[in-house]
Amino acid sequence: MRYRLLLAALLFAGVTTPVLAEQKIVHSERSLYREVLVYEQDGERCMCFTRQCRIGRQSCVNLQEPRRFALNYARMMMAGTLFLGPAPKRILVIGLGGGTLPMALAEVLPAAQIDVVEIDPAVTRVAKRFFGFKDGPKMKVTEVDGRVYVKRAIREGLRYDAILLDAFDHEYIPEHLLTREFLAEVKSLLSPEGVLVGNTFSSSRLYDHESTTYADVFGTFFNMKRENRVIAARPAGLPDAGSLRQRAMEYELALRPFGVDALSLLPLFTTRTDWNREARVLTDQYSPANLLNH
């Protein structure tokens, strides 16, 4: 039992290595939602929501090469750019963390409007002070619950060419951001060729339920796994291997400064079913993430 709990903890939100004793805490503040901590270790600075990052790291930067992604899940999330057309107009990122993903998107896609949703003002402050995040005319941060933002965006008739789901609390994705109803709301915000990219666990008791829920809303999706799992779905249908390779070649130089080898991402794009198809779909009436994730 202790081994399973430790394994589950290490799989959280981009964890790739064991936590070592020489971590140095450089900042701590208590918000309405959590304690937001910043640690430095082995040339990296990381944002965590638990002491000693014992249940994973929310975001990390390499202090010598701050543009280069420190966590593998961020590289997989950037694979969402391989779906985009040549001139995406608007991108939504739910979950700021240290801001590494939206900042990278802003550099790779400078013409796009990037809307970031972050429930916790303390996370926004820490991202700006310690991780180099900057908002501006093309990078707008709204501090509100992600589902509330989505509902408002639907009422306003907004459409997004890409939506990235990267919202985690100190345990996992909040349960109201896991359900069929939420994913259907997100789907309705996508432009005709829009893509959804979601960061999740690569292994947990929720895995089967999450998978059947995404399949229920989007049908076939790409299932990319390294330490974490990243789901990529497109209502218009998934691109074929030739299209993905062409896009990877087009984005190769733009992604390289972030430590992303676009061509090496291609083998991760699989549609193979590795979950129980009979698992119950998560809904607003049934989403016991606090029970299933242990």
Tell me the two tokens of residue 216.
């229920």
List beta partners, residue 224: 230
State the amino acid at position 132 in one-letter form.
G
* SS3 readout for the chain: CHHHHHHHHHCCCCCCCCCCCCCEEEEEEECCCCEEEEEEECCEEEEECCHHHCCCCCEEEECCCCCCECCHHHHHHHHHHHHCCCCCCEEEEECCCCCHHHHHHHHHCCCCEEEEECCCHHHHHHHHHHCCCCCECCEEEECCCHHHHHHHHHHHCCCEEEEEECCCCCCCCCHHHCCHHHHHHHHHHEEEEEEEEEEEECCCCCHHHHHHHHHHHHCCCEEEECCEEEEEECCCCCCCHHHHHHHHHHHHHHHHHHCCCHHHHHHHCCCCCCCCCCCCCCCCCCCCHHHHCC
* Active site (catalytic) residues: 166
Number of Cβ within a 10 Å radius of residue 135: 17
44, two tokens? 């990296």
Q: Name every residue whose Cβ is closer than 8 Å to that of residue 119 and which is 6 or more positions away in sequence.
A: 33, 143, 144, 145, 146, 167
Q: Tokens 């430095």 sit at which residue?
A: 40
